[in-house]
Amino acid sequence: MSEVENLCDKVLKTDLLIIGSEGAGGHAAIEAAKSGVNILIVTKGKIGQCGASQMAGADFNVDGKAAKTLGFPGDDRDNPELFFETLVRESLYLGNQKMVEKYVEYAPKAMKDLLDWGMRIYSYESAHSEEMARGIITSGTLWVAAIRKKIRELNIPLIEDTIVIDLLISEGRIAGAIALDILTGETIIIKCKALILATGGWHVAYPFNTGPYDLTGDGVAMAYRAGLELTSMEMVQFCPITMVWPPKDRGSIVLYMTSEIDPFNKTVRLLNNKGERFMEKYDPENLEQSTKEIVSIASQLEIEEGRGGPHGGIYYSLKHSRTRFIDMLIKVAGHRIKNEYKDSRYELNILFPELLEKCKTEDVEVGNAAHYMSGGIKVNENTETSIPGLYAAGECSGGLWGSVRVASACTEVGVQGKIAGEVVPNYIKKVEHAEIKTERVKEILERINKPLKNITGITPNELQRKMHEISGKNLGLIRNEKQLKEAIKDLEKLLRDDVEKLYISSTKSKALNYEWIRSIELRNMLICLYLSAKTSLIREESRGEFYRSDFTITNNDEWLKTIILKKKNGDCEIKFEKPVITKISLPKGKLTYQEAIGVATASLKKEERGA
């Protein structure tokens, strides 16, 4: 056994290592298995029970013509060209058009896979309140169940309850990764020829978020440390109509989810503390049916201008509706929620009727929660990163969405997972395993073990509280120069000083030491927040889901470019790139944010569709 292999408790070897087992990682594994390469999936929890996929609504988007080929009603007015145009325009032109083309092309292919694997469908209907039907509706539990079943049928090797700590780069390409068995505390070297990151976003870095506990930015932070390029880290999507109060329901998006159920989405009113329906001011045509970004920003402006509720939200109201109408909603929409989530550990089927009963007499306080990361690891249309053999798929990647995630994230992870699974075997067949560097392994192990060796210092709980104070106060939906500079300064201090002082106060045992695991995750979340704050300060405009109160103009002349970050010589190198163009040229001129709303909501306006 070599010196490097003696450093860890176990050594494993495979052709392809996939980090993440759900929508993106699972789809990639199933696709790659067709080529006969050796595959190993490593997942942080249990397959089908970790990451964001299980919590999805879930809708999958395909154009109308493609829908017909899949056996759905479809829409003769819709086609791939129109779908492509919608995605580019409504993301305000910042997305990589090659990636958008691939999304449109592969959406029906990925959907067919899921249907072939037995995923049950509820309906085919309008998606995200758009007039044209592009939504194939199911639930996250049914989605991940189909993937899990197929992975088991194919006997694809899987290691559960294991967190990957860092990537190993050698000879300018991927050589493997170091992982930690959460149950035993054993460290593992995994040698591989190629690696697919499918690790999701960094939701937990925010105190108010819609994600599960394990979305801590591990893949993005590991990629940055390994020298990969990141893109559009400032583009963080916040979900409106997320429960703020009472505390037991905080973070639930069940009321937001119901906005896709007709005629429910024509009934909701959002009110400020004066009882005013404030969406009449921000988007008088579409009101509460406007885009997620616009409703979020409108809500936050009301809150910051002193017209919010006592717990930092605004009000969701149905009191104007007749009681019998709400009873009908409980019966119709509640039946759907119950069916979709009957197998979910998130008891939405219980919460939903209870909330609607409450809405007969009370308004419910809701707010904006960190929901989706449109930026991340820079990839091209084939999911390739800037390091050979290293790929990224799903929410941990960046480049597709521009400044607004217009369409389905479920489709994104399926499409990119399928693409990665197709292209990676071709690379694997051309290379041999790279030699892992001993010094790099020693450095990583020393870093993660330091909190166990420290006798005093800062506990992970204390550091998480500090992190949430910064992200909650200065890195929310609406940002400005003063807040961002303060956030950068504070995050730099936490990364420079406090992270090094982390110590585990509960037990020094490595087995089932969740305080130790959180210390590893905290470093990753702080890196993601820091890089997001850096790019947020650089982008001096407001665009899509990104809003600066001190730069409210959407500036196509100066800011139709993406911000690229890369770690180089211990510092953060920054450069700018123009969006990749294939068919649609970039617009010029400056727009007020209100004018930009007109661009972003074009698909919501029936007269523009000839309807």
CATH code, domain carrying 307: 3.90.700.10
Q: How far apart are CA 513 and CA 469, in angstroms?
A: 25
Q: How far apart are CA 279 and CA 316, in angstroms?
A: 12
Which distant-in-sequence residues (6+ apart) come within 8 Å of 489 by Cβ? none
Q: How far apart are CA 504 and CA 519, in angstroms?
A: 8
**Which has the minimum average pLDDT: 247-261, 402-416, 449-463?**
247-261
Unique residue bearing structure tokens 């056994």: 1
Res. 608: pLDDT tops 50? no
**Which has the minimum average pLDDT: 53-57, 272-276, 572-576?**
53-57
Report cis status (omega within 30 of 0) of the bond before 263: yes
pLDDT of residue 3: 82
Res. 161: pLDDT tops 80? yes
Q: Report the SS3 class of residue 521.
A: helix
Q: Of the residues 319, 347, 369, which one is the last residue of a structural domain?
A: 369
Res. 462: pLDDT tops 80? yes
- The DSSP secondary-structure symbol of 477 reads S
Q: How far apart are CA 29 and CA 20, in angstroms?
A: 10
**Counted domains in the chain:** 2
Q: Of the residues 352, 369, 386, which one is the last residue of a structural domain?
A: 369
Q: Give the closest residue to 594 by CA, choosing from 525, 559, 547.
A: 547
Query: What mean pLDDT do residues 92-100 have?
Result: 96
Q: Where are the beta strands (DSSP E) in 64-120?
A: none
- Do residues 104 and 111 make contact, with C-beta atoms less than 8 angstroms apart? no
| Same domain membership, residue 560 and residue 453 | yes
Parent domain of 334: 241-369
What distances in angstroms separate CA 592 from CA 95, 214, 552, 554, one per listed residue? 20, 38, 7, 6
Looking at the DSSP assignment, which residues form a beta bridge with residue 236? 373
| Same domain membership, residue 529 and residue 447 | yes
Residue 502 in tokens: 């982390």
322-328 contact pairs (CB < 8 A, 24+): 323/360, 325/267, 326/356, 326/357, 326/359, 326/360
- DSSP tally for the chain: helices H, then strands E: 17, 25
Q: Give the closest residue to 165 by CA, choosing from 408, 580, 517.
A: 517
Q: How many CB atoms lie within 10 A of CB 312?
A: 15
Residue 296 in tokens: 């979020």
Q: How far apart are CA 452 and CA 39, in angstroms?
A: 33
| Same domain membership, residue 452 and residue 359 | no
Which distant-in-sequence residues (6+ apart) come within 8 Å of 90 by Cβ? 291, 404, 406, 599, 600, 601, 602, 603
pLDDT of residue 329: 61
Q: Give the closest residue to 573 by CA, choosing from 234, 235, 224, 236.
A: 224
Residue 125 in tokens: 């209907």
Q: How far apart are CA 110 and CA 528, in angstroms?
A: 29
Strand order in the sheet with 162-170: 10-13, 187-191, 173-181, 162-170
In a domain, 167, yes or no: no
Over residues 296-347, the pLDDT tens digits come to 889 999 998 999 999 999 998 887 766 666 666 666 555 555 555 444 434 4
In one letter, which amino acid is 60?
F
First to last CA, the chain: 70
Q: Of the residues 336, 369, 402, which one is the last residue of a structural domain?
A: 369
| Same domain membership, residue 452 and residue 549 | yes
Report cis status (omega within 30 of 0) of the bond before 247: no
Exposed, middle or buried by CB within 10 Å (0-12, 13-18, 19+), for 413? buried
Q: How many CB atoms lie within 10 A of CB 578?
A: 10
3-class SS letters over 382-433: CCECCCCCEEECHHHEECCCCCCCCCCHHHHHHHHHHHHHHHHHHHHCCCCC
Cut 0.75: pTM above it: yes
In a domain, 298, yes or no: yes
Res. 601: pLDDT tops 90? no
In a domain, 88, yes or no: no
CATH code, domain carrying 490: 1.20.58.100
| Same domain membership, residue 447 and residue 350 | no
pLDDT band, very low/low/confident/very high, at 132 (cuts 50, 70, 90): low
Which distant-in-sequence residues (6+ apart) come within 8 Å of 482 by Cβ? none
Residue 302 in tokens: 């009301």
Over residues 166-192, the pLDDT tens digits come to 999 999 999 999 999 999 999 999 999
| Same domain membership, residue 568 and residue 469 | yes
pLDDT band, very low/low/confident/very high, at 262 (cuts 50, 70, 90): very low
Q: What's the mean pLDDT when you consider all of the chain? A: 88
In a domain, 295, yes or no: yes
According to the per-residue pLDDT averaged within each range, which of 255-259, 283-287, 386-390 is highest?
386-390
Which distant-in-sequence residues (6+ apart) come within 8 Å of 562 by Cβ? 94, 231, 232, 399, 576, 577, 578, 579
Q: How many CB atoms lie within 10 A of CB 45?
A: 19
According to the per-residue pLDDT averaged within each range, which of 237-251, 417-431, 583-597 is highest?
417-431
What distances in angstroms separate CA 49 from CA 46, 139, 174, 317, 446, one per listed residue? 5, 13, 28, 33, 31
pLDDT of residue 337: 54
In a domain, 350, yes or no: yes
408/528: higher pLDDT: 528
| Same domain membership, residue 364 and residue 252 | yes
Q: How far apart are CA 410 and CA 282, in angstroms?
A: 29
In a domain, 10, yes or no: no
In a domain, 447, yes or no: yes
**Which has the minimum average pLDDT: 119-128, 293-302, 587-596?**
119-128
Quick one: the chain helix, strand, coil %, rounded to 5?
45, 20, 40
In one letter, which amino acid is 127?
A
Res. 605: pLDDT tops 90? no
- The DSSP secondary-structure symbol of 92 reads T
In a domain, 331, yes or no: yes
pLDDT of residue 604: 44
